[in-house]
Amino acid sequence: MLVSAHLVILPIILPMLAALLQLLPWGAQPQRYRRAIGILASMLAVLLSIQLLIAVDQGPLVYALGNWQAPFGIVLVADKLSALMILLTNLLALPVLIYSCYGEDNLGSHFQALFQFQLLGIIGAFLTGDLFNLFVFFEVLLISSYALLMHGGGKLKLRATLHYVLLNLAGSAVFLISLGVLYGITGTLNMADMANKVALLTGDDATIARAGGMLLLVVFGLKAALLPLYFWLPQAYATTTGAVAALFAIMTKVGVYSIIRVFTLIFGVDAGAASLLGYDWLWWLGLATLGIGAIGVLGSRDLRAVIAYLVVISIGTMLTTFSMNSERAISAVMFYMLHSTLITGALFLLTDVVAEQRGKTASRIVKGRKMAQHGTLGMMFFIAAIAVIGMPPFSGFIGKLFILEAARTGAQVALLWPLVLGSTFLMMIALSRAGSRMFWHTLDGKPGEVRHPTGQLTAITLLLATIVGLTIFANPVSSYTQAIANDLVHPSAYKNAVLGTGVSDVK
Tens of pLDDT along 374-422? 889 999 999 999 999 998 889 999 999 999 999 888 788 999 999 999 9
Radius of gyration of the chain from Cα atoms?
22
How far is CA 507 from each of CA 78, 489, 493, rounded to the nearest angstrom?
Answer: 20, 11, 10
On the question of pLDDT at 254 being above 50, the answer is yes
Looking at residue 507, its pLDDT comes to 32
Nearest to 138 by CA among 107, 161, 96, 169: 169
Give the Cα separation of 386 and 52 in Å (integer).
32
**Quick check: 191 and 76 in contact, CB under 8 A?**
no
- Span 462-491, pLDDT tens digits: 999 999 999 999 999 999 999 999 999 999
Residue 214 CB neighbours (<10 A): 15
b/e code 221-241 from CB counts within 10 Å (16+ = b): bbbbbbbebbebbbbbbbbbb
User: CA nearest 346: which of 243, 431, 432, 427?
Assistant: 243
Show Cβ contacts of residue 228 under 8 Å, excluding neighbours closer than 6 positions. Answer: 285
pLDDT value at residue 2 = 45
Residue 243 vs residues 102, 306, 353, 468: alpha-carbon distances, Å: 11, 16, 10, 21
Average pLDDT, the chain: 90
For the chain, give the number of residues. 507
Work out the angle between the directed axes of helices 30-55 and 111-127 (0-180°, nearest 10): 10
- CA angle 311/317/323 to nearest 5° reads 135
Mean of pLDDT values over 91-104: 93
DSSP state of 302: B
Ranges of H-type helices in 101-202:
111-127, 131-149, 155-186, 191-198
Q: What is the pLDDT of residue 446?
A: 80
> Whole-angstrom Cα distance, residue 346 to residue 460?
6
Burial (CB < 10 A; 0-12, 13-18, 19+), residue 494, is: buried
Q: Which has the higher per-residue pLDDT, 192 or 441?
A: 192
Where are the extended beta strands (E) located within 167-312? none
Beta-strand runs (E) in 185-282: none
Q: Which residues of 4-25 are buried (b: 16+ CB within 10 A; e: fewer)?
A: eeebbebbbebbbebbebbbee
Average pLDDT over residues 496-504: 68
Cα 193 from chain centroid? 27
The sign of the dihedral angle between the CA atoms of 414, 415, 418, 420 is negative
H-run or E-run covering 6: none
Q: What is the dihedral of CA 334, 335, 337, 343, to 10 degrees?
A: 170
- In sequence order, which residues have a C-beta less than 8 Å from that of residue 384 and are 6 or more positions away? 343, 346, 347, 350, 464
39-88 pLDDT tens trace: 999 999 999 999 999 999 988 999 998 888 888 888 999 999 999 999 99
Gap between the Cα atoms of 260 and 263, Å rounded: 6
Measured over the CA atoms of residue 172, residue 174, residue 177 and residue 179, the dihedral's sign is negative
The residues facing 75 across adjacent strands are 64
Three-class secondary structure of residue 78 per DSSP? strand
Contact 293, 423 (CB under 8 A): yes
Strand-pairing partners, residue 130, are 190
Least confident piece of the model among 66-75, 115-124, 263-272, 414-423: 66-75
Q: How many CA atoms lie within 13 A of 24 on its CB side?
A: 11
Q: Give me the sign of the Cα torsion angle 396, 398, 400, 406.
A: negative
How large a percentage of the chain has pLDDT more than 70?
98
Q: Reply yes or no: is the peptide bond before residue 491 cis, omega within 30 of 0.
A: no
Distance CA 452, CA 259 (A): 40
Can you spell out the DSSP letters for 315-341?
A: HHHHHHHHTT-SHHHHHHHHHHHHHHH
d(CA 51, CA 87): 10
Nearest to 225 by CA among 178, 182, 163, 279: 163
For β-strands 61-64 and 75-78, DSSP reports them as antiparallel
Among 233-237, 310-314, 370-374, the range of highest mean pLDDT: 310-314
CA 220 – CA 215 distance, rounded (Å): 9
Question: Would you state the pLDDT for residue 502?
Answer: 39
Span 295-309, pLDDT tens digits: 999 999 999 999 999
CA distance 35 to 14: 15
